[in-house]
Amino acid sequence: MRATEPRSDMDHWQERVDLAAAFRWTARLNMHEAVANHFSLAVNDGGTRFLINPDQMHFSRIRASDLLLLDANDPDTLKGPNAPDPTAWGLHGSLHRRCPHIRCAMHVHSIFATVLASLADSTLPPIDQNTATFFDRYVIDENFGGLAFEDEGERCARLLDDPKKKTLIMGNHGVLVTGGSVAETFNRLYYFERAAETCIRALQTGRPLRVIPDEIAERTARQIETYPGQAERHFAELKLILDAEGSDYAS
């Protein structure tokens, strides 16, 4: 059982709880980076009001009540006393202003995704089920322009206009995954890191890759996309583990 009941004084409680759980598990899987990186979740129909992590707070400590509620159309966001990290605002504010189809966005510098993003060719070849999941469903950013302040954040957001492309391999930077819910997006983040690890470790052998033909890779990706309830069940199990451990993420 969760440690606390839903708080009546805070809007979007269940969304807050889910996002907090995603932060905790990302830290547990060592996919975070110090007090950097950011996750956001749109909470209105237009996608412009969104939850995001507080400035410089470690993922392993974030609780549902800690999350900031921001308006992507508010130009004074960075002037307030409880302002988000400027790069979080630059990237996620741009995403939620420009791409209403993106409900949730998770950006990390996880190890294998970042190694892949650091290669001259950051293509993820379909060599197993996990890598095939992302076949023709990602964009590679070839034009890293420094920290994701507003201009850079807007440039990155433009790369995700196509709703089919839910993953941005950020060249020289890391990865950004998107989705329609926290569960879907976290599941995609988890499997992208696994896929990137498989790719990197296969390349390290120096032996030729056994690449799946495009037709089979596309079929596999569609099968995984329509697999019933996999992301939701995965995420529900993670929350149950946190609850059993007495975590305060839902407070």
- In order, the DSSP letters of 191-244 are HHHHHHHHHHHHHHTTSPP-PPPHHHHHHHHHHHHTSTTHHHHHHHHHHHHHHH
**Listed residue (188, 239, 244, 182) closest to 25, CA to CA:** 239
| Chain-centroid distance, C-alpha 91 | 12
pTM: 0.94
Cα dist. 161→87, 123, 164, 176 in Å? Answer: 20, 20, 9, 14
- The pair of structure tokens assigned to 137 is 């469903």
Q: What pLDDT score was predicted for residue 3?
A: 47
In the Cβ-directed half-sphere of 27, how many Cα atoms lie within 13 Å? 18
**Beta carbons within 8 Å of 134's beta carbon, 6+ residues apart:** 124, 126, 167, 192, 195, 221
Q: DSSP of 108-122, one letter per residue?
A: E--HHHHHHHTSSS-
Contact 24, 62 (CB under 8 A): yes
Annotate 164-188 with b (16+ C-beta within 10 A) or e (fewer): eebbbbbbebbbbbbbebbbbbbbb
CATH 3.30.300.20 fits 13-244, yes or no: no
Q: What pLDDT score was predicted for residue 6?
A: 67
Sequence-distant contacts of 32-36: CB under 8 A, at least 24 apart: 32/58, 32/59, 32/60, 32/108, 32/110, 33/108, 33/109, 34/58, 36/85, 36/109
**Beta carbons within 8 Å of 66's beta carbon, 6+ residues apart:** 20, 53, 54, 57
Q: Where are the alpha helices (DSSP H) in 8-149?
A: 13-28, 86-88, 94-98, 111-117, 129-132
| Cα 73 from Cα 77, distance rounded (Å) | 9
| Cα 101 from Cα 145, distance rounded (Å) | 25
| Cα 13 from Cα 179, distance rounded (Å) | 19
- pLDDT in single tens digits along all 251 residues of the chain: 454 566 666 899 999 999 999 999 999 999 999 999 999 999 999 999 999 999 999 999 999 999 999 999 998 999 988 899 999 999 999 999 999 999 999 999 999 999 999 999 999 999 999 999 999 999 999 999 888 788 888 999 999 999 999 999 999 999 999 999 999 999 999 999 999 999 999 999 999 999 999 999 999 999 999 998 999 999 999 999 999 999 999 99
Contact 148, 87 (CB under 8 A): yes
Using DSSP bridges, classify how beta strands 49-52 and 167-170 pair: parallel, antiparallel or unpaired.
unpaired
